[in-house]
Structure 1
Amino acid sequence: MTETDDIFETSVSTGARPARRARNSRAQANVTLRWLHTYTSMISLLVVLFFALTGITLNHPDWVFGTSDVKSTLTGSMPSGWIQNGAVNWLTVAETLRADQNLKGRAGETRFDGNEADIAFVGPGYSADTVIDASTGKYTVNVLQQGGVAVMNDLHRGRDTGGAWKWVIDLSGGILAVVAFTGIGILLYLKKTRNQALTVMGIATVIVIGLAWHAIA
């Protein structure tokens, strides 16, 4: 082999290495995308199902199955000391109501005007509005408990759910975004169906944007 042949072989080998590295890099990226897509899809499976079904029920508030309301009125009296120096001890009030009337949910808005004190307990599909007579300490609680569909709808909206469930909603949104982006990334490696799939995605995007524009116009 001549010196010229050695130089030619070396140049070919040197040029092949970057191409091989590029192929290996693309293959590794494809594997990573598939791994992320598979496992985030498994994690979000029930989340997608829940938000899909409750999205339908939210869009049809006239559907009444599982939405029957149960209303009740409770009465009682506050212990002494629930008002001190003209100010309501709301912690005592809340604990008394929970213990005596088995109220649930989070203690929400409070109001005191000198004659009456109001406190509300709220949760998904649940509310308990309490009015207390400042002079006698007697109270009335109007409780509304809604059906299972209403509870799920409130969970979908994050209404009266507290901070923990709001984190669930945020995390679910992030996972679904990863599923979507990794799905698109995998699609880019499928040479046979890539163009057709991207065309369909583009058409669907235009249709959705058009419908959204029509809805708000």
Structure 2
Amino acid sequence: MLVRWLHIYLSMVSFAIVFFFAVTGLTLNHADKFGDEVHTAQQKGRLNPAWTKDPDTTKIARLDIVEYLRNTCHLKGTLSDFRIDPDQIGVSFKGPGYAADAFIDRGTGAFDIMETTAGFVGVINDLHKGRDTGHTWSLFIDICALLLVVVSLTGFLLILFLKKKRLSGLAVAVCGLFVAWLVYRIWVK
């Protein structure tokens, strides 16, 4: 039967997904117990002022600045913001469990960088939420969600084919739904 085959093999494929999101759900919900130490580091330096001095902001050497910061200061993550103010340029990089902000003096090219790195728990929590993970991880989360919907529906359909377990299985499903609704109704407002 196709439903049984789908349920078994999709369940096996999704085991790691369910396990990952279950563990990270706990670490997110109990951040005080699973807290990770956040490390911050500062760097100072100077880049080519010709890249930053031009009063015409369209001529600011954005690519050169970003690549210089990545290569020289070893910044990671995706470029999330590039702000040009009259006296300063702000460049931000973000990734799961990672953030770096560079503040560059437009006149001199001098910069200060504040880099924040979370540990393993911070990284997996950001992956769980899809925070600063990019399009590919977001697509992966969507595919996982669809996969789990199919696993749930095939499991529900399977219980309908088992005469001896059908009534008790449906009763348990209704009870689970009722308990979730009751918890929401009483304690979440």
TM-score (norm 2): 0.94
Matches within 5 A, 1:160-171: 160-171=132-143
Unaligned runs of 5+ in 2: none
- The equivalent of 2:146 in structure 1 is 174
Q: Distance in 1 between matches of 2:19 and 2:183?
A: 24
- Alignment size in residue pairs: 186
Q: Which moved more, 1:38-47 or 1:154-163?
A: 38-47
Q: Distance in 1 between matches of 2:187 and 2:30?
A: 17
- The equivalent of 2:20 in structure 1 is 50
- The equivalent of 1:82 in structure 2 is 51
- The equivalent of 1:184 in structure 2 is 156
Residue 128 of structure 1, aligned match among 78, 89, 100: 100
Q: Distance in 2 between matches of 1:64 and 1:75?
A: 33
Matches within 5 A, 1:51-70: 51-64=21-34, 67-70=36-39
- The equivalent of 2:2 in structure 1 is 32
Q: Distance in 1 between matches of 2:179 and 2:136?
A: 36
Return the letter of the residue paired with 2:97: G
Deviations 1:113-153 (A, max 9, x none): 11011011100000001100111001011011111001000
C-alpha root-mean-square deviation of aligned residues, in Å? Answer: 1.2
- The equivalent of 2:126 in structure 1 is 154
Contact 2:49 2:107 in 1 (8 A): no
Determine what percentage of the aligned residue pairs are the same residue.
Answer: 37
Larger Rg over CA atoms: 1
Q: CA deviation at 1:85?
A: 4.6
Q: Which moved more, 1:110-119 or 1:185-194?
A: 110-119
TM-score (norm 1): 0.82
Return the letter of the residue paired with 1:32: L
Q: CA deviation at 1:89?
A: 2.4
Q: CA deviation at 1:42?
A: 1.4
Return the letter of the residue paired with 1:117: I
Unaligned runs of 5+ in 1: 1-30
Q: CA deviation at 1:90?
A: 1.9
Deviations 1:59-108 (A, max 9, x none): 0110245x111111011111243134531322111101001011100011
